Structure 1
Amino acid sequence: MYQIKTYNAIAKEGLDTFKENYQVNTGQEPDAYMIRSIDLHDYQFEPGLLAIARCGAGFNNIPLDACSEQGIAVFNTPGGNANAVKEVVIALMVIANRNLIEAANWSAQNVGEDISLRTEREKSRFNGHELFGKRLAVIGMGHVGSLVANAAIDLGMDVIGYDPYLSVDAAWNLTARVQRAATLADAVKGADFITVHVPKSEETTGMINQELLAQVKPGAILFNYSRLGIVDNQAAVAALANGQLGQYVTDFGEDCLQDNPKVTITPHLGGSTKEAEINCAKMAVDELTQYLETGNTTNAVNLPDVVAPFTSQHRFTIIHRNIPNMLGQISTAIAKAEVNIDNLVNRAKGEYAYTMVDVGELTAEQTEILTTTLNQIDAVSRVRLLDRPKQ
């Protein structure tokens, strides 16, 4: 029986997809966590914790280095809330371009018998612009960025995208009418709208900065529905003050943005729809069950994605540092135990690697020797022995 512990509110429709050999929030020694926004950086993980699934794309609330050292696989659910983020960005582009919030606030504060006359007289102050024919720069062409780009094309916009790491899968999802910029500066130059959809990393933190904003078209509208810190908010405030930016719309508030009439802040609503929460929960359940039962890793964050058919009687899964001679040590240990290897898969991701070794029948003595020997290898974080799932 596998024990799952949840943090935050995880969609019941997703949790209901766990099979009967799973229990949720009933045991004291969880095999896996399912989380959303809880910050785990100062958390003491149980020794038996095997995996953490983040029901969402971001994972900056999870201490990846500590998890890798302790042999905990971390997963996210990329694309699970992509449509939700796309819809809110497109909606806010319309709202910002048509001054709808300002107009609605005016209407709410002006009532009386002559409201119709005053509306006709003063509505011109809220005249906006259409999206049709405007230029949109999309920074990051992954799950969300590609959807935003395609939707903008459908609205008649001129779209240019920038992503030096554009994957083949993402490229297939893009309409051919989306232009590709060679540099970030080329993407934002001349754009009426700029929207950012990149993961947060050392490389992307502060990528929309004072230097870049100095090169945008005066009056451009900037959107950040990615992560706090990707846009230098102080630089954005300065650009709003000097007219380089016309508006700034973001899902991540900071003190420097408060009480600025040119700033619209939403309370982290980008992926907050019932549908997105359900999609992400279902994806997380599938990732966890695959990993716990077969060792296969899909959408792993701190480990490489490794998927192989489980046809042998047993499978060893080994999380270890990505250093020379690890495969030699693993295969030598298996050979000394007089066990034949049916299949071996090894891949690396950064400082860590993941090895799956399929073997046939094992005696109790061989199981004990192998498990002990593999765990004694200095660079190994965790060893698991799995039995082939019953069909």
Structure 2
Amino acid sequence: MYDVKTFNAIAQSGLDTFRNDFEINKTDDPDAYLIRSVNLLEADFPQSLKTIVRAGAGVNNIPLDRVTEKGIAVFNTPGSNANAVKELIVALMIATKRNLFEAHQYSDEHTEADVSQRTEKDKTKFNGTELAGKKIAVIGLGHVGSLVANAALGLGMKVIGYDPYLSANAAWRINNKVKRVDTIKKAVKSADFVTIHVPKNEETIGLISTPEINEMKDGAVLFNYSRVGIVDNKAAVKAIRNQKINHYCTDFGEPIIADNPKITITPHIGGSTLEAESNGAIQGANTVMDYLQNGDTTNCVNLPNMQVAFETAFRITVIHQNVPNMVGQISTQLANRQINIENMANAAKDKVAYTIVDVNDLNQDDAEDLIHHLNSIPEVYRVRLIKHQ
């Protein structure tokens, strides 16, 4: 029996996904956390905790280095809220170019009897432009970016994409009419719209700043629906003041961008739809089960992604440092106990590696002794023994 502790409100559809051998919130020493945006950066983690699954994309609320050293695998649910974010971007493109915010404010302030005559006279001040024929630069062509790019094409827009890390699977999702370029400056050059859909890391902080903004068309609209810090907000405010940017829309508020009529701040609602929350919860629940019962690490953010068919009686998984001779040390421990290896897989991600060993003949005494000695290797973070279901 496994126990899962939830934080925030996890959609019931996700909780209903768990099979009978999983209990929800029965103990303070769970095997897994299923979370959304709860801040765990200063949290203490129980020894029992084996995985943290974020029902959403961002994991900047989890101390990755610290939990990795505790042998805790961290996952997210990429793509679960992609359609929600795409639809919000499309809605904001229309709203900003048709001056809907200003038009609503005008109508709200002019409710007198002759409103129809007044609006007929004044409505030209709200004349907007259509999206068809406009150029949009999509920075990051993963789950969200690819949907935005394809939707923009459907609206008759010219789409330029930039993503130096585009995977083969992601490439299949993108319409071949999307023109891909090899630099951000080429992508944003003369763009009417620029939208950012990349993860937050050392390489992407300040990704869009003054040099990139200067390449855009005068009066461009900029979107940041990835993470705070990816767009340099000081540069965005300056560009609005200089009328280089006509509007800036973001899901992440900061004091520097507050109270500016040319900046629309939404309260982190990019992925906040009933459908997206359900998708993330269901995907998160399946991720918890796949990792705890099979050792699969698909969509893991701090371990290499591995999915190995589990066809033996037992599976041993080892999270360890990515240093020489680890596989040798692990296999030697099994050989010393005359345990035959049926299948073995190993992969690394940066400084961390993950090894899967499948065996059939393993008695209780050998298992306990083996796990003890594997855990005694200084470079090992965690060893798990999984019985085939």
1:128-207 paired onto structure 2 within 5 Å? 128-207=128-207
Cα pair 2:340 2:361 within 8 Å, conserved: no
Give 1:87's aligned residue. Answer: 87
Give 1:119's aligned residue. Answer: 119
Indicate the SS of the match to 2:215: coil
Indicate the SS of the match to 2:386: strand
Q: CA deviation at 1:364?
A: 2.3
Q: Deviations over 1:78-121 (max 9, x none)?
A: 00000000000001000000000110111011111100000100
Give 1:228's aligned residue. Answer: 228
Q: Percent identity?
A: 55
Give 1:103's aligned residue. Answer: 103
Name the CA distance, whole Å, in 2 between partners of 1:315 and 1:180.
Answer: 43
Name the CA distance, whole Å, in 1 between partners of 2:69 and 2:255.
Answer: 36
Indicate the SS of the match to 1:202: coil
Q: Deviations over 1:122-178 (max 9, x none)?
A: 000000000000000000000000000000000000000000111111110011110
Name the CA distance, whole Å, in 1 between partners of 2:388 and 2:349.
Answer: 26
Give 1:68's aligned residue. Answer: 68
Q: Deviations over 1:229-279 (max 9, x none)?
A: 000101100010011111101111110111111111111110000000000
Q: Deviations over 1:30-58 (max 9, x none)?
A: 10001111111100000110000000011
1:199-218 paired onto structure 2 within 5 Å? 199-218=199-218
Q: CA deviation at 1:71?
A: 0.3
Name the CA distance, whole Å, in 1 between partners of 2:367 and 2:223.
Answer: 55
Give 1:353's aligned residue. Answer: 353
Indicate the SS of the match to 2:28: coil
1:1-391 paired onto structure 2 within 5 Å? 1-389=1-389
Q: Deviations over 1:155-213 (max 9, x none)?
A: 00000000011111111001111001121000000100000000000000001012221
Indicate the SS of the match to 1:246: strand
Cα pair 1:31 1:50 within 8 Å, conserved: yes
Give the unaligned 5+ runs of structure 2: none
Name the CA distance, whole Å, in 1 between partners of 2:61 and 2:320.
Answer: 23
Q: CA deviation at 1:226?
A: 0.7
Q: Deviations over 1:302-359 (max 9, x none)?
A: 0011111111111101000100000010001110011000000101111101111001
Name the CA distance, whole Å, in 1 between partners of 2:250 and 2:68.
Answer: 32
Name the CA distance, whole Å, in 1 between partners of 2:160 and 2:318.
Answer: 43
Equivalent AA in structure 2 for residue 80 of structure 1: S
Indicate the SS of the match to 1:161: strand
Indicate the SS of the match to 1:214: helix
Name the CA distance, whole Å, in 1 between partners of 2:73 and 2:313.
Answer: 23
Cα pair 1:346 1:356 within 8 Å, conserved: yes
Equivalent AA in structure 2 for residue 107 of structure 1: S
Q: CA deviation at 1:368?
A: 2.0
Indicate the SS of the match to 2:343: strand
Give the unaligned 5+ runs of structure 1: none
Cα pair 2:5 2:32 within 8 Å, conserved: yes
Name the CA distance, whole Å, in 2 between partners of 1:289 and 1:278.
Answer: 17
Name the CA distance, whole Å, in 1 between partners of 2:344 and 2:169.
Answer: 27
Q: CA deviation at 1:28?
A: 2.2
Cα pair 1:219 1:244 within 8 Å, conserved: yes
Equivalent AA in structure 1 for residue 262 of structure 2: K
Name the CA distance, whole Å, in 2 between partners of 1:67 and 1:337.
Answer: 31
- Structure 1 range deviating more: 285-294 or 212-221: 212-221
Q: TM-score, normalised by structure 1?
A: 0.99
Equivalent AA in structure 2 for residue 78 of structure 1: P
Name the CA distance, whole Å, in 1 between partners of 2:27 and 2:61.
Answer: 24
Name the CA distance, whole Å, in 2 between partners of 1:368 and 1:176.
Answer: 55
The alignment covers a number of residue pairs equal to 389
Name the CA distance, whole Å, in 2 between partners of 1:297 and 1:222.
Answer: 35
Q: CA RMSD in A?
A: 0.7
Name the CA distance, whole Å, in 1 between partners of 2:110 and 2:292.
Answer: 60
Name the CA distance, whole Å, in 2 between partners of 1:209 and 1:372.
Answer: 52
Name the CA distance, whole Å, in 2 between partners of 1:28 and 1:251.
Answer: 33
Structure 1 runs (4+) greater than 2 angstroms displaced: none
Name the CA distance, whole Å, in 2 between partners of 1:206 and 1:382.
Answer: 36
Q: Deviations over 1:277-318 (max 9, x none)?
A: 000000011111011011111110100111111111111010
Cα pair 1:337 1:369 within 8 Å, conserved: no
Name the CA distance, whole Å, in 1 between partners of 2:369 and 2:31.
Answer: 24
Name the CA distance, whole Å, in 2 between partners of 1:269 and 1:385.
Answer: 40
